[in-house]
Structure 1
Amino acid sequence: MRKTKRRNPYYAGPVSDHFDGTYFFNPGGIEPLGFRELLRWQFGGGRERWPRSVPSPFAAAKPDPSVDGEGLRVTMVGHATLLVQVAGLNILTDPVWSERVSPFTFAGPRRVVEPGIAFDDLPPIDLVLVSHNHYDHLDIATLKRLHARHRPLVVTPLGNDTIIRRAVPDLQTTSMDWGERISHAGISIDAEPAHHWSARGGADRRMALWAAFVLSTPAGKIYHVGDTGFHRGINYKAAQRKHGGFGLAILPFGAYEPRWFMKGQHQNPEEAVIGMKLANAAYVAGHHFATFQLTNEAVDAPTKALREAMREHDIPSHRFRPLRAGEVFDVPPA
């Protein structure tokens, strides 16, 4: 990795196999491409036009206050935001209710489908998982609203807690490194590797960590991956070896074209299906598609490619569910 004396504004800690003292990195992986490659992509053509509005086939959900016992229910809000109800807890992943995912309110990728749960219809939120600091996953405006209304615990990888606390000083936040485990309200939370990167601007690339999470619950293990490149399946294999498999995996499968630019950060639908098999996941809630246009592919391309990949890999359609806004998935026992 590069040698530098630059100060990391978010995190100071010991050097590790994925932190060089300033920058986090993917061991044996792909670094994010630079500004020249970004311009090549942006001005290289091939970007499909999305509609301004894409109504969901599902009405906005009005969730029950909780799901107890060994039940597991997942409701899609949009993009990487899902409500996970398990063990009497209400958990949000990468919550975004903002109109745009951008440092600006007037520019940047705009939502094309309304949230699948109106913010005021949320049940009491106990726990929030923030996988990394890109704007489509770490939305400060939404975290402020959640803190004002629900006072949840926010769990996030190293360095992102600094970003969150600067904006919402009294928000309860816990940061985790890869391989760490914490307990909360009767469940355990493991932070596991994902192949991605981080940045809030042009000067803080890879200065906060990214991660996947594993929740061990009475309903089984849940593997939440906010964003990842496939990385030869290394992280999926490691998760299976460590955890033995999952009743539910929450996997991204959109925002993947052009491959030459996106391969290191966003897996495509076929890679998501292979990842499901490598991780030994009984069911998948698919996300990261048909909400914000971040990349080149058409709005319906990920679901078409996913159907083809499931046919090719002999995965029944009920096992990998590409959830649309407002859709509710009562996950069968594994």
Structure 2
Amino acid sequence: MQTTTAHVSPQIHNGRFRNPARMHRSGFGKMLGIMWRAAFNKPAGTVPVRPIPVQAMTRTAIETAPDHTVWRLGHSTVLLKLEGRLWLTDPVFTRRASPFSWLGPARFHAPPLRLEDLPPLEGVILSHDHYDHLDRAAVLALAAKTAHFITPLGVGDLLVKWGVPAGRVRQLDWWRSIKLGNVELTCTPAQHFSGRGLSDGNSTLWCSWVIAGATRRVFFSGDSGYFRGFKAIGDRFGPFDLTMIETGAYDEQWPDVHMQPEQTMQAHVDLRGNVLLPIHNGTFDLAFHQWHEPLDRIAALADAQGQRLATPMIGQAIDLAAPHADKRWWQAATAR
């Protein structure tokens, strides 16, 4: 599927979106090798053997929580209460991050609340179209209670095709902003790729987001390899009260599109972040590292470098005004 001609962007080349930097070429043989290893030779420890602790959430608790409250719901799904409104990033509530209900990475834990228990949302903020970030069933369930769906170019077309009213969809290119009430959202670069099938690779854009209220500022990375764009974003929009940056599903075989924890920490520094919330971990088995390794490594880096970390339990509320919540809950789940 080619990118729609309605979108004109410097990121489009020959009908497809691309990263400014040259990417490593995987090759068909390498991809087959990765798939074979994932299917038949996965190392031990990529899935937890003990239940992951989850703090249940209620609609009443969300509605009565003070402004600037943040909840991590799992993987890259984060609920923010900002300027009196609710904003939800990359909502994935499905059991599997896959086009199939019977095959693919299954959740380690249930979401801390049901979709139907979420209060009305001002906005759903999407970073790209991969299955672990864009859940069709969740989007359709949220359509009736969400005022705006804010997406990078092309992803909004997919939502409209699914049945989301076009008037509720806002699509942005990199460095473009939209103000909704007292919150300004800026679509910022990321180094990644897109596609939900065999023929639609890079037909939609991927991005990160700057989410800025009157007094608090949050960065949401989506998925990205490490690149110089983090410093450009930090120079232009930093400092940030909270950076929510991917820390998981990394491997030396795909260095361009996911970061090692050391790169995550450097991205946080580049962005001029106050507190780092590591996301993209603890929910799905998407790589060959042990499930808790991303959290172990980023916590060790924070200790060594004197950086502030927020690692709330799934469903636990933290305050944007003082988001340091370094609970290290995963250590109890891995203790023998």
TM-score by length of 1: 0.88
Residue in structure 2 matched with residue 90 of structure 1 by the alignment: 86
Q: How many Å separate the matches in 2 of 1:306 and 1:333?
A: 20
Residue in structure 2 matched with residue 4 of structure 1 by the alignment: none
Comparing 108-117 and 53-62, the one that deviates more: 53-62
Q: Once the two structures are superposed, what CA deviation does each residue of 1:54-82 show, in whole Å capped at 9, x if it has no partner?
A: 533342122321656xx411101110001
Q: How many Å separate the matches in 2 of 1:303 and 1:85?
A: 25
Report whether the alignment pairs 1:304 with 2:296: yes
Unaligned runs of 5+ in 1: 1-6
Q: 1:217 aligns with which of 188, 213, 217?
A: 213
Q: How big is the shift at 1:249?
A: 1.1
Secondary structure in 1 aligned to 2:225?
coil
Contact 1:25–1:31 (CA under 8 A) maintained in structure 2 = no
Q: 1:20 aligns with which of 7, 10, 13?
A: 13
Q: Once the two structures are superposed, what CA deviation does each residue of 1:145-175 show, in whole Å capped at 9, x if it has no partner?
A: 1013x13310000011111111124262110
Residue in structure 1 matched with residue 263 of structure 2 by the alignment: 271
Q: 1:145 aligns with which of 141, 148, 152?
A: 141
Comparing 133-142 and 160-169, the one that deviates more: 160-169
Q: How big is the shift at 1:235?
A: 1.4
Secondary structure in 2 aligned to 1:43?
helix
Q: 2:160 aligns with which of 141, 157, 165?
A: 165
Residue in structure 2 matched with residue 41 of structure 1 by the alignment: 34
Q: 2:63 aligns with which of 55, 62, 65?
A: 65
- RMSD across aligned positions (CA): 2.0
Residue in structure 1 matched with residue 74 of structure 2 by the alignment: 78
Q: How many Å separate the matches in 1 of 2:80 and 2:223?
A: 17
Q: 2:278 aligns with which of 286, 291, 302?
A: 286
* One-letter amino acid of the structure 2 residue matched with residue 156 of structure 1: T
TM-score by length of 2: 0.88
Report whether the alignment pairs 1:205 with 2:201: yes
Change (3 A) 1:214 1:160: same
Q: How many Å separate the matches in 2 of 1:309 and 1:49?
A: 22
Q: How big is the shift at 1:327?
A: 1.9
Unaligned runs of 5+ in 2: 324-336
Residue in structure 2 matched with residue 331 of structure 1 by the alignment: 320
Residue in structure 1 matched with residue 311 of structure 2 by the alignment: 322
* One-letter amino acid of the structure 1 residue matched with residue 28 of structure 2: F
Change (3 A) 1:272 1:66: farther
* One-letter amino acid of the structure 2 residue matched with residue 255 of structure 1: A
Q: Identity rate of aligned residues, in percent?
A: 26
* One-letter amino acid of the structure 2 residue matched with residue 118 of structure 1: R
Q: How big is the shift at 1:15?
A: 5.3
Q: How big is the shift at 1:308?
A: 1.8
Contact 1:255–1:295 (CA under 8 A) maintained in structure 2 = yes
Q: Once the two structures are superposed, what CA deviation does each residue of 1:89-134 show, in whole Å capped at 9, x if it has no partner?
A: 1000000111111111111111111112332332221100010000
Q: 2:108 aligns with which of 81, 91, 112?
A: 112
Q: 2:230 aligns with which of 233, 236, 243?
A: 236
Change (3 A) 1:210 1:283: same
* One-letter amino acid of the structure 2 residue matched with residue 35 of structure 1: F
* One-letter amino acid of the structure 2 residue matched with residue 92 of structure 1: L
* One-letter amino acid of the structure 2 residue matched with residue 266 of structure 1: H
Contact 2:299–2:309 (CA under 8 A) maintained in structure 1 = no
